[in-house]
Chain A
Amino acid sequence: MLIIRTAFKNIIGAGRATRLNIAVLSFVLVIMTAYNGMLDGWIAESRRDTIDWDAGWSQLWHPNYDKYDIFTLPDAHGKIPIQIDNALQAGMATPVLVIQASVYPQGRMLNIQLKGIDPEQQILKIPSLSLHSAGGETPVVIGKRMAATTNLKKGDRVMLRWRDRNGVFDAREVQVAAIFETTVGSADAGQMWIALDDLYAMTDMQGEATYIVMQRESPVSADTGGWHFKDNDFLQTDNRILEQSSRAESVIIFTILLTLALLAVYDTQTLSIFRRQKEIGTYVALGMTPRGVTTLFTIEGTTYSLFAAFFGAIWGAPLLYWFTKTGLPMPEAYGDIGMAVGDAMYPVYKLTTVATTLLVVIFFSALVSYLPARKIAQQNMVLALKGKIN
């Protein structure tokens, strides 16, 4: 208790050095909380959007289908397994048929994936209701990126060419019925969505699909009818890889920031300890053990980080809260590189992340205070009393 009381007195008495240490450490804490919050928010949003727009909760894949190998597409279609009829009827699953096709906007040719989907489905956020045929047109919907690439607008017509199940080319004009905006590139870039029945008619692949998208509540949770079950963990592989890479970046940034802050604390503590040699000698002369002196200075250093947490909360909490309301605006280019990023990134502050950040700062503050304190406590106290330790 005496040591804690003495440490507090010394910290308060240190004045400017204390304010500097607390300011630097609280800056690191708030910046890292904001940064990790952004990262957590982006990851959560990315996972959520991937589920909502592209992957659903889980999928059943045709045995020949490989999402990452476009050459599997010509053979990756087959009759929908009858075992999931109930799930389809209940709206807990919806089939998607994927074929390769080409569009010719303004006379240019662009290879795309043409995806047939049930207009009535409610699992993915694709505006599939717009795919209902009207007036003899064949409607398609595309995402904002695809629209930008092809220079197509809502209502525009474009020539579409594809091969039917026998490999025979066919072509027709389709009309852009809607343009949707999504953060998920894999539902947008190079993709064109069409009513499943239209695609059946165009390809003669009646009752077939490439994969089945399922809701979380779907009873299917294993390979079914020879089709391969892909769980949410698998479907989030891209996000997970991005997350791991971003976490590594976060650790590097945190390390740099923390190192700079701790250098300030270390410098202050070392300077303070060597400037306070006589005081240390006096503590020992009055009956404090060298270990007590080490503890005293370690507590002083640790207390800086506790004060920093307190002051960081005072000035940082309103700022961090404001970020959750306004978000951090993101450049559009982020979406073009395949990351699921919205117009703004909204942070999510997880208790575990904040607590870990705080504990790391406290631990290292204690360490950089302990090291010089231990060094001087092991020196000859006669020299300390004379202020002659170098």
Chain B
Amino acid sequence: MKSENIIRIEGLTKDYPVGEGFFRALAKIDLTFREGEFAGLVGPSGSGKTTLLNIIGLLDTPTSGSATVLGKEVSALTAKQSAFLRNRHIGFIFQSYNLLPVYTVYENVEFTLLLQKKNREERHRAVMEALDWVGLTEKKDSRPSQLSGGESQRVAIARAMVKRPAIVLADEPSANLDAENSHHILQTMQQLNAELKTTFLFATHDEKVMQYLQRIISLRDGKIEKDTNS
């Protein structure tokens, strides 16, 4: 991951079929992100921020144009190659946490390392370190149903970070949290960004999140309205 431009998007368009026609979610977007950025895609609902995040996360593909993530052209990847890249280099944080309900906190964080076939010792060390980052080592044996919203989102952060990914994509990470918890998780992510040089990319319309972002890309109707660095 030596490329300075860790994400490069050129002329990206994304259309969704709607009835006889289509809905254009993204229209000829050009963007680049460097390693270690703490950036956010902001805009109202339907502006295309989540769509762009999903394409960068290899969960979706562009209709036209190109998106190159970690040196790989998204449209050219097979399902297996996408899965490999997500597993090794991309972490996800979702609005509704998406923790696996039958697993403990420890097992949720460990899951991605199991997919990587890491040995037990490596997994244990990495999971405990990740839980330490988010301050949840005491809750490692709890089930998601026993956690508060803030704790659940911190588990999701630990799960995203445990593999030390190049990119973390966070879709409305604070939407279900109160102000205190929102600040807490954002400070945690900011700290990890500084320590590990992980690129964080948010999709949000939450003012609390925006005040932490180093770069804000405003989207409206699928187009970039403004791209500012603080």
Cβ–Cβ contact B102 & A285, under 8 A: no
CB of B87 closer than 8 Å to a CB of A: yes
CB within 8 A of B59: which of A10, A12, A288, A385? A385
| Residues of A contacting B8 in the complex (Cβ-Cβ under 8 angstroms) | none
Which of chain A's residues 267-318 have a Cβ closer than 8 Å to chain B? 278-279, 281-282, 284-292
Output the least CB separation between A297 and chain B (Å).
14
CB of A107 closer than 8 Å to a CB of B: no
CB of B101 closer than 8 Å to a CB of A: yes
Cβ–Cβ contact B86 & A382, under 8 A: no
Residue of A nearest to B171 (CB): A385
CB of B220 closer than 8 Å to a CB of A: no
Q: How far is the CA of A10 from the CA of B80 in the complex (A)?
A: 24
Q: How far is the CA of A290 from the CA of B79 in the complex (A)?
A: 7
CB of A177 closer than 8 Å to a CB of B: no
How many residues from B make CB contacts under 8 Å with A? 25
Residue of A nearest to B102 (CB): A13
| Residues of A contacting B103 in the complex (Cβ-Cβ under 8 angstroms) | 9
Cβ–Cβ contact A287 & B87, under 8 A: yes
Residue of B nearest to A378 (CB): B79
Q: How far is the CA of A279 from the CA of B103 in the complex (A)?
A: 12
CB of A380 closer than 8 Å to a CB of B: yes
Cβ–Cβ contact A279 & B101, under 8 A: yes
| Residues of B contacting A286 in the complex (Cβ-Cβ under 8 angstroms) | 86-87, 92, 111-112, 115, 159
CB within 8 A of A287: which of B60, B84, B96? B84
| Residues of B contacting A287 in the complex (Cβ-Cβ under 8 angstroms) | 83-84, 86-88, 112, 115-116
CB within 8 A of A288: which of B88, B96, B115, B159? B115
Output the least CB separation between A373 and chain B (Å).
15
Q: How far is the CA of A382 from the CA of B54 in the complex (A)?
A: 7
CB of A2 closer than 8 Å to a CB of B: yes
CB of B133 closer than 8 Å to a CB of A: no
| Residues of B contacting A13 in the complex (Cβ-Cβ under 8 angstroms) | 101-102
Q: How far is the CA of A235 from the CA of B111 in the complex (A)?
A: 66
CB of A381 closer than 8 Å to a CB of B: yes
A positions within 8 Å CB-CB of B: 2, 9-10, 12-13, 278-279, 281-282, 284-292, 380-382, 385
B positions within 8 Å CB-CB of A: 54, 57, 59-60, 79-80, 83-84, 86-88, 92, 94, 96, 98, 100-103, 111-112, 114-116, 159
What are 27 A-B pairs at a CB distance below 8 A? A2-B114, A2-B115, A9-B102, A9-B103, A10-B102, A13-B101, A279-B98, A281-B98, A282-B94, A282-B100, A284-B59, A285-B86, A286-B86, A286-B92, A286-B112, A286-B115, A286-B159, A287-B84, A287-B88, A287-B115, A288-B83, A288-B115, A289-B79, A289-B83, A291-B79, A385-B59, A385-B98
